[in-house]
């Protein structure tokens, strides 16, 4: 189910993946130093920061891909406050969900980018740059993460080979993705390495840089 907004003459779509903000289900790894309520608040703050940046990109449709349903009050509030569509995530794991989201989006938009909601280092200028890169003819644009994964992936056509049977949440994800890109003979561009908020030290890093961000 999708709640759509009217967007005219747009050839790009940015899809932000987000989990419903429920206590003890989001940012649980922060709870070695934060309370469950503080971890929930961190999730909310990072998601709203991501939405603000996403909506700064001109002439770009923005979708918030939600799980487990669209009916959470936070998601409904986001749809009221931001010019976005709400979309339900479809798939058994994060790879299948990203692959499905990208394949569906690329039926309508020539260029699609997917990212999480917990990467404060990724600026709206860099997100906008990812679309410009795709428009120059690259098949893939990707932003590696310091932890060995990636925080953003953009495509100009569906590439299921980048998602099938991947061991997600492992330090080898980016390396394996690079290998698959090479094997598929895709033309790829890598943005600067980013950091996301998974561990207490990441949250402290965010807090020390929040004014600049």
Q: What predicted TM-score, i.e. pTM, was given to this entire model?
A: 0.93
- The mean pLDDT of 82-87, rounded to a whole number, is 98
pLDDT at 170: 86
pLDDT band (50, 70, 90) for residue 7: very low
Residue 3 has pLDDT above 80, yes or no: no
What's the CATH code, domain 9-204? 3.90.550.10
pLDDT at 211: 58
- The mean pLDDT of 93-108, rounded to a whole number, is 97
Share of the chain above pLDDT 70, in %: 94
Per domain, the residue ranges of the chain are 9-204
pLDDT at 212: 56
Strands 111-115 and 12-19: parallel
- C-alpha distances (whole Å) from 134 to each of 49, 138, 191 are 24, 5, 12
Give the Cα separation of 33 and 93 in Å (integer): 28
Q: Which of 59, 51, 49, 27 is nearest to 40 (CA)?
A: 27
* Per-residue pLDDT tens over the stretch 140-188: 999 999 999 999 999 999 999 999 999 998 899 999 999 999 999 999 9
pLDDT at 6: 42
φ and ψ of 183, to 5 deg: -65, -35
pLDDT at 169: 83
Q: What are residue 114's DSSP bridge partners?
A: 15, 153
**Mean pLDDT for the chain overall:** 93
User: What are 100's two structure tokens?
Assistant: 């499905």
């Amino acid at each position: 189910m999708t709640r759509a907004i009217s967007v005219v003459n747009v050839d790009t779509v940015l899809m932000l993946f987000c989990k419903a903000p429920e206590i003890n289900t989001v940012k649980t790894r922060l709870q070695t130093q934060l309370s469950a309520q503080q971890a929930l608040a961190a999730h909310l703050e990072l998601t709203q920061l991501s939405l603000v940046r996403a909506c700064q990109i001109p002439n770009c449709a923005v979708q918030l891909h939600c799980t487990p349903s669209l009916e959470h009050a936070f998601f409904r509030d986001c749809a009221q406050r931001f010019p976005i569509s709400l979309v339900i995530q479809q798939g058994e794991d994060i790879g299948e969900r990203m692959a499905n989201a990208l394949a569906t989006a690329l039926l309508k938009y020539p260029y699609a980018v997917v990212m999480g909601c917990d990467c404060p280092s990724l600026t709206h200028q860099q997100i906008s740059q990812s679309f410009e890169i795709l428009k120059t003819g690259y098949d893939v644009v990707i932003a590696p993460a310091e932890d060995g994964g990636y925080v953003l992936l953009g495509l100009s056509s569906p590439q299921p080979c980048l998602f099938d049977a991947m061991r997600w949440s492992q330090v080898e994800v980016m390396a394996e993705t690079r290998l698959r890109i090479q094997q598929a003979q895709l033309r790829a561009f890598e943005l600067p390495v980013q950091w996301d908020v998974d561990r207490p030290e990441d949250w402290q890093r965010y807090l020390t840089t929040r004014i600049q961000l």
